């Protein structure tokens, strides 16, 4: 984006001479008609004639902005917050800057927004996509040889119990706990999963509306959620893992449209067709398919390996429902009690079968995300009834869980199962100690250096 400064319009017009480009080092260059020149970020170019002087500077769109534009009122960017768009004007002066509204601001740590509920204010920081990378660092203790950081996205829903009749979003949703539709709320969560560390972090949560628009289903709402917030995923994410419910053409097309590939599960009676790889006839239409895939018949599938009592087979086939070729991974388990199978797929036909299997298994970490948020960070404890308050509460609950998980990793580089309950106990004990010392007008600084302080903080926590 280019910003111009001109002489006041009140000055009389004078004949324009061929302009001279004055470089930063003071050298000058006469410009010919339609001659182009390049400016780098932060560089100022000065065009000068005998009577006029024009300065140009490059201003790029900040990473936190959704758009940048200019009109008669000046230069603007737009930023999105809670589904609303706010315009941020460019303020010129000795030190030019983006003039934030009262709600937003920028300091030495970057852009922030303050969210106030009653007398409590929470400050949220902008983190550019791809700059906050989660995973196994190269210098991590007990890191596996040849291991690489692998992050995938995941999308799933969860049922939230809620009583009353006035709460926004009340309807009948599927409750996996009871295996039937129940009255309550539903949330859809987009998460990022660290496959190597085997844990998940919430990125965005939307509440499912009670009624769909005319001609739409709840699947359209899930698609809008993904398209709106998938930019929050780290840039290294290439695959979105979903369960069998999300194996629908509408969702698959949305994932591919945004530049990702889907890894999911197919129905046990999925309509699949083998691809024809034989010799074509010299005349007539080319043969594309070689018959229907018979689920259970592994004679036309490629054997990959056996993991325990599970045999893994794979093939590239055509999925009629998704209207595209996919790689399927057929998992066959044979035990003394009988045999069972599962059918996984990936829209990336170049992805190997073991990675498809690994990514889909990692998808289950989003279920632990729901479980821990419900048990320890109050996901189901909100008494608010408005849509905005519920949206804020759901995302705040997951944000608290993300911070606990990150602190656990910072305190212990060695991989181990995390106990959210233990961390909650430590936080409660620490708060209780600080409250006692504060009310007693005692100095806590010396006590913190005592081994007894750490012992009291960990009282009731699971041994690390």
For residue 5, pLDDT beyond 50: no
For residue 315, pLDDT beyond 80: yes
What are the two backbone dihedrals, phi and then psi, of residue 291, each rounded to the nearest 5 degrees? 105, 165
Tokens standing for residue 65: 């902005």
Tokens standing for residue 103: 């709600």
Confidence class for position 346, pLDDT limits 50, 70, 90: very high
Tokens standing for residue 231: 């930019």
pLDDT at 68: 86
The 8-class DSSP code of residue 231 comes to G
pLDDT at 90: 81
- CB contact at 8 A, 311 and 303: yes
For residue 29, pLDDT beyond 50: yes
What are the two backbone dihedrals, phi and then psi, of residue 152, each rounded to the nearest 5 degrees? -130, 160
> 14-23, 38-47, 322-331: which has the highest mean pLDDT?
322-331
CA distances, 372 to each of 156, 174, 213, 252 (Å)? 15, 20, 33, 29
What are the two backbone dihedrals, phi and then psi, of residue 390, each rounded to the nearest 5 degrees? -65, -40
For residue 181, pLDDT beyond 80: yes
pLDDT at 148: 52
pLDDT at 240: 95
- Helix, strand, or coil (residue 409): helix
Confidence class for position 92, pLDDT limits 50, 70, 90: confident
Who wins on pLDDT, 430 or 212? 430
Who wins on pLDDT, 16 or 163? 163
**Mean pLDDT over residues 352-364, rounded?**
93
* DSSP code string of 235-290: TT--EEE--GGG-SHHHHHHHHHTT-EEEEE--TT--EEEEP-SPPPSSSSPP-EE
What are residue 311's DSSP bridge partners? 306, 332
User: Pairing mode, if any, of strands 310-319 and 20-22?
Assistant: unpaired
- CB contact at 8 A, 49 and 63: no
CA 331 from centre of chain: 29
Longest dimension (CA), the chain: 97
Who wins on pLDDT, 456 or 82? 456
Separation of alpha carbons 387 and 82, rounded Å: 11
Q: Which residue has the tokens 């007693």?
A: 440
Who wins on pLDDT, 411 or 233? 233
- Among the residue ranges 20-24, 120-124, 127-131, 308-312, the one predicted with the least confidence is 127-131
CA distances, 406 to each of 139, 144, 336, 402 (Å)? 17, 20, 43, 6
- CB contact at 8 A, 326 and 346: yes
What are residue 402's DSSP bridge partners? none
Separation of alpha carbons 198 and 417, rounded Å: 9
Domains in the chain: boundaries: 2-58, 67-125, 151-409, 420-457
Tokens standing for residue 453: 């302080």
**What is the percent of the chain with per-residue pLDDT over 90, rounded to a whole number?**
36
For residue 463, pLDDT beyond 70: no
- Among the residue ranges 164-168, 355-359, 413-417, the one predicted with the least confidence is 413-417
Separation of alpha carbons 314 and 422, rounded Å: 42
pLDDT at 324: 92
Confidence class for position 415, pLDDT limits 50, 70, 90: low
- CB contact at 8 A, 271 and 326: no
pLDDT tens digit string along 441-453? 888 888 888 888 8
Q: Which CATH class is domain 151-409?
A: alpha beta
**Mean pLDDT over residues 125-142, rounded?**
59
Tokens standing for residue 288: 């594309």
* Contacts with 463 (C-beta within 8 Å, 6 or more apart), sequence order: none
* Contacts with 352 (C-beta within 8 Å, 6 or more apart), sequence order: none
- CB contact at 8 A, 325 and 317: yes
CA distances, 50 to each of 16, 18, 47, 176 (Å)? 8, 9, 10, 78
Who wins on pLDDT, 26 or 341? 341
pLDDT at 184: 92
The three-point CA angle 62-155-112 to 5° equals: 30
For residue 455, pLDDT beyond 90: no
For residue 379, pLDDT beyond 70: yes
Q: Name which of 192, 126, 114, 190 is nearest 406 in CA terms.
A: 192
Separation of alpha carbons 115 and 84, rounded Å: 14
For residue 3, pLDDT beyond 70: no
Torsion, Cα of 355, 356, 358, 363 (10° steps): 140
Separation of alpha carbons 345 and 266, rounded Å: 7
Residues in the chain, total = 464
**Mean pLDDT over residues 86-95, rounded?**
77
């Amino acid at each position: 984006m280019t910003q111009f400064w001109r002489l006041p319009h009140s000055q009389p017009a004078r004949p324009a001479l061929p302009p001279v480009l004055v470089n930063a080092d003071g050298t000058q260059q006469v410009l010919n008609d339609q001659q182009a020149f390049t400016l780098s970020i932060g560089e100022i170019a000065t065009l000068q004639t005998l009577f006029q002087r024009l300065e140009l500077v490059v201003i790029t769109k900040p990473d936190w902005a959704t758009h940048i534009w200019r009109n008669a009122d000046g230069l603007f960017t737009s930023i999105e917050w809670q589904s609303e768009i706010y315009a941020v004007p460019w303020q010129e002066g000795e030190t030019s800057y983006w003039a934030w509204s009262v709600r937003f601001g920028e300091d030495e740590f970057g852009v922030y927004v303050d969210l106030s509920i009653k007398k409590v204010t929470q400050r949220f920081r902008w983190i550019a996509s791809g700059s906050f990378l989660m995973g196994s660092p190269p210098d991590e203790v007990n890191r596996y040889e040849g291991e690489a950081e692998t992050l995938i996205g995941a999308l799933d829903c969860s049922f939230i119990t809620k009583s009353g009749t006035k709460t926004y979003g009340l309807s009948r949703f599927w409750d996996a706990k009871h295996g039937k539709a129940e009255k309550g709320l539903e949330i859809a969560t987009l998460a990022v999963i660290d496959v190597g560390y085997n844990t998940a972090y919430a990125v965005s949560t939307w509440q499912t509306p009670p009624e769909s628009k005319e001609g739409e289903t709840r699947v359209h709402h899930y698609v809008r959620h993904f398209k709106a917030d998938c930019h929050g995923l780290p840039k290294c994410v290439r695959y979105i893992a979903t369960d069998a419910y999300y194996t629908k053409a509408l969702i698959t097309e949305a994932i591919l449209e945004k530049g990702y590939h889907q890894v999911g599960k197919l129905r046990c009676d999925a309509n699949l067709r083998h691809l024809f790889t034989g010799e074509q006839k010299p005349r007539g239409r080319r043969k594309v398919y070689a018959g229907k895939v018979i689920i259970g018949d592994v004679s036309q599938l490629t054997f990959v390996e056996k993991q325990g009592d599970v045999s893994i087979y794979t093939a590239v086939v055509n999925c009629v429902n998704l209207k595209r070729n996919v790689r399927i991974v057929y998992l066959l388990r044979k035990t003394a009690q009988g045999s069972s199978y599962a059918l996984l797929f990936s829209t990336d036909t170049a992805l190997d079968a073991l990675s498809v299997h690994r990514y889909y298994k990692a998808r289950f970490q989003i279920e632990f995300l729901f479980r821990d948020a419900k048990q320890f960070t109050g996901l189901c404890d909100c008494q608010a009834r408005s849509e905005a308050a519920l949206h804020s509460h759901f995302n705040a609950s997951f944000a608290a869980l993300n911070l606990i998980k990150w602190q656990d990793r910072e305190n212990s580089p060695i991989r181990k199962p995390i106990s959210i309950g233990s961390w909650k106990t430590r936080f409660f004990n620490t708060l209780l100690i600080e409250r006692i010392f504060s009310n007693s007008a005692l100095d806590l600084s010396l006590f913190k250096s005592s081994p007894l302080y750490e012992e009291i903080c960990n009282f009731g926590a699971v041994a690390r």
